[in-house]
């Protein structure tokens, strides 16, 4: 193992789906550039799959200094062994100092495997990333003790420093008209690495329509709705606003709505232009998912509800009166 200071490069592992990079890949270039401001290291986009050379050009515009690619169809579907083997080989060859990995299903599968292979530490599910010049390491922040505490974790004795980061936590950088080096990593297809055979891709029920992370308007209903049927009211308002339906964990736990809609620490992290919280108290675990929203509007009958502390606009009132009125008014305005 090299001296810790000899590890160079802030890597961002891109995740491709159906030939395109998921938004979170570009989002992670933003904290990578924050680290670069302190260390001066290159930000490297690591991209595996068909068309990765083309995606690399986009990555260079969106904040990467370099790209390391394997442009091969074997990587078009995530495969734990193949991905772990390849990224391990890349990391052993180039020795990056840190790796930012999307906290998606695939990223969450690969990151701990990589950490073991590379004999290093991993901070999972980070909500913020900074560089601490005193410790000379990345400060990975993530909720701990049920979300009641934010823990800052350092990997001060091993390299690379690994962290998974949720989609929607960081905003993408402004595109710049620049290019950079695209390096192809040699890959030899081999039969024996494929212990997993891809048969069919099945979308989770309702999953296609629920893009909370990319939504500009989110209308979330909580436990204050009282019963499953009342979600129709939320859907109606969401339809009127061309928005997406979100929810709290209490409503999911009650079986009123699928977990795909859940916002918060154990749900999705969102960054809409407008987030409307209806009958949601504003527990810390819910707020953890909405802090990047531009504007938060709360409707709650309890003026002391914690949601009002973070809301830009609040309506203290009975949601069963307010929401239908609001929907009606919006429909009226739209029909003009
Ligand atoms: P409640 O807290 O019960 O609030 C209901 C609100 O509705 C109240 O404020 C009430 O005043 C209001 N209300 C009731 N009737 C009306 C009415 N007629 N008109 C207007 N307002 C009304 N929660 C999440 O949301 N997301 C997470 O990801 C998440 N992760 C968690 C992880 C852990 C480890 C733990 C321990 C908890 C987590 N939770 C999460 C749960 C969280 O602590 C809260 O229990 C949950 O957010 C509460 O949901 P709620 O606001 O819908 O319900």
138 in Cβ contact with 130 (< 8 Å)? yes
Mean pLDDT of the chain: 92
Least confident of 140-149, 281-290, 326-335: 140-149
**Can you list the pairs that 153-158 forms with residues at least 24 positions away whose Cβ atoms lie under 8 Å?**
153/121, 153/123, 155/120, 155/121, 155/122, 155/123, 157/4, 158/4, 158/119, 158/120, 158/121
pLDDT on residue 195: 79
223 phi and psi, to 5 degrees? -65, -25
pLDDT on residue 3: 86
| Residues pairing with 83 in the sheet | none
Kind plus residue range of the DSSP H or E element containing 163:
strand 161-165
pLDDT on residue 193: 66
**Residue with CA closest to ligand 1 atom 11:** 302
| Environment class of 225 (CB within 10 Å of its CB; exposed 0-12, middle 13-18, buried 19+) | buried
**Residue with CA closest to ligand 1 atom 15:** 224
pLDDT on residue 167: 85
32 in Cβ contact with 25 (< 8 Å)? no
Neighbours of 280 (CB within 10 A): 31
- From ligand 1's centre to the CA of 285, what distance in Å? 9
Q: Where does the pLDDT of residue 188 fall: very low under 50, low under 70, confident under 90, or very high at 90 and above?
A: confident
What is 175-186 written as a DSSP string? P-S---EEEEPP
| Residues pairing with 69 in the sheet | 47, 184
Ligand 1 pocket at CB < 6 A = 146-147, 222-224, 248-251, 262, 264-267, 279-281, 283, 285-286, 289, 300-302, 305, 318-320
Q: Which conformational region is residue 264 in: left (phi greater than 0), alpha (psi within -120 to 50 degrees), or beta?
A: left
| Percent share of the chain, pLDDT over 70 | 95
Q: How many secondary structure helices (H) and strands (E) does the chain include?
A: 9, 17
**Residue with CA closest to ligand 1 atom 34:** 146
In the predicted structure, residue 159 carries a pLDDT above the cut 70 = yes
Q: What is the mean pLDDT of residues 33-38?
A: 97
Q: Select from 138, 183, 145 the least CA-distant residue to 164.
A: 138
pLDDT on residue 209: 62
pLDDT on residue 191: 67
CB environment 48-61: b (16+ within 10 A), e (fewer): bbbbbebbbebbbb
Which ligand 1 atom is at minimum distance from the Cα of 222? 52
CA distance 295 to 308: 12
- From ligand 1's centre to the CA of 280, what distance in Å? 5
pLDDT on residue 85: 93
Q: Where does the pLDDT of residue 273 fall: very low under 50, low under 70, confident under 90, or very high at 90 and above?
A: very high
Q: Where does the pLDDT of residue 275 fall: very low under 50, low under 70, confident under 90, or very high at 90 and above?
A: very high
In the predicted structure, residue 272 carries a pLDDT above the cut 90 = yes
Kind plus residue range of the DSSP H or E element containing 38:
helix 23-39
Q: Where does the pLDDT of residue 2 fall: very low under 50, low under 70, confident under 90, or very high at 90 and above?
A: low
CA distance 137 to 121: 12
CA distance 36 to 99: 13
Q: Between these two residues, 204 and 127, which has the higher pLDDT value?
A: 127
Most informative mutation of 264, 319, 320 for ligand 1 (most atoms within 8 A of CB): 264
159 phi and psi, to 5 degrees? -140, 150
Q: Where does the pLDDT of residue 199 fall: very low under 50, low under 70, confident under 90, or very high at 90 and above?
A: confident
Token pair belonging to 192: 């024996």
In the predicted structure, residue 179 carries a pLDDT above the cut 70 = yes
Which ligand 1 atom is at minimum distance from the Cα of 267? 28
| Environment class of 206 (CB within 10 Å of its CB; exposed 0-12, middle 13-18, buried 19+) | exposed
pLDDT on residue 214: 84
Q: Which conformational region is residue 161 in: left (phi greater than 0), alpha (psi within -120 to 50 degrees), or beta?
A: beta
């Amino acid at each position: 193992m090299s001296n810790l200071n000899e590890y160079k490069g802030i890597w961002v592992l891109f995740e491709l789906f159906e030939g395109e990079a998921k938004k979170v890949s570009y989002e992670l270039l933003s904290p990578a550039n924050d680290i670069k401001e302190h260390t001066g290291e290159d930000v490297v986009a690591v991209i595996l799959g068909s068309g990765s050379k083309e995606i690399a050009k986009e990555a260079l515009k969106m904040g990467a200094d370099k790209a390391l690619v394997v442009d091969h169809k074997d990587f078009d579907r995530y495969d734990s062994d193949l991905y772990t083997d390849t990224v391990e080989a890349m990391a052993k060859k180039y020795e990056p100092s840190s790796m930012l990995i999307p906290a998606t299903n695939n990223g969450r599968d690969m990151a701990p495997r990589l950490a073991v292979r590379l004999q290093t530490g991993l901070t999972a599910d980070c909500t913020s990333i900074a560089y601490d010049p005193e410790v000379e390491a990345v400060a990975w922040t993530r909720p701990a003790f049920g979300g009641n505490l934010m823990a800052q974790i350092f990997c001060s004795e091993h390299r690379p420093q690994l962290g998974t980061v949720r989609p929607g936590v960081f905003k993408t950088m402004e595109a710049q008209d620049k290019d950079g080096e695209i390096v192809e990593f040699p890959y030899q297809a081999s039969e024996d690495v494929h212990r997993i055979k891809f048969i069919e891709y099945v979308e989770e029920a309702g999953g296609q329509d629920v893009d909370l992370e990319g939504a500009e308007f989110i209308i979330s209903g909580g436990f204050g709705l009282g019963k499953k049927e009342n979600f129709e009211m939320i859907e109606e308002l969401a339809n009127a606003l061309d928005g997406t339906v979100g929810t709290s964990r209490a409503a999911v736990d009650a079986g009123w709505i699928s977990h795909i809609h859940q916002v918060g620490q154990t749900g999705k992290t969102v960054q809409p232009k407008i987030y409307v919280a209806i009958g949601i108290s504003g527990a810390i675990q819910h707020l953890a998912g909405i802090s990047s929203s531009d504007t938060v509007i709360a409707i709650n009958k309890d003026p002391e509800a914690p949601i009002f502390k973070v809301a830009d606009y609040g309506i203290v009132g009975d949601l069963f009166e307010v929401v239908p009125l609001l929907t009606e008014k919006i429909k009226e305005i739209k029909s003009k």
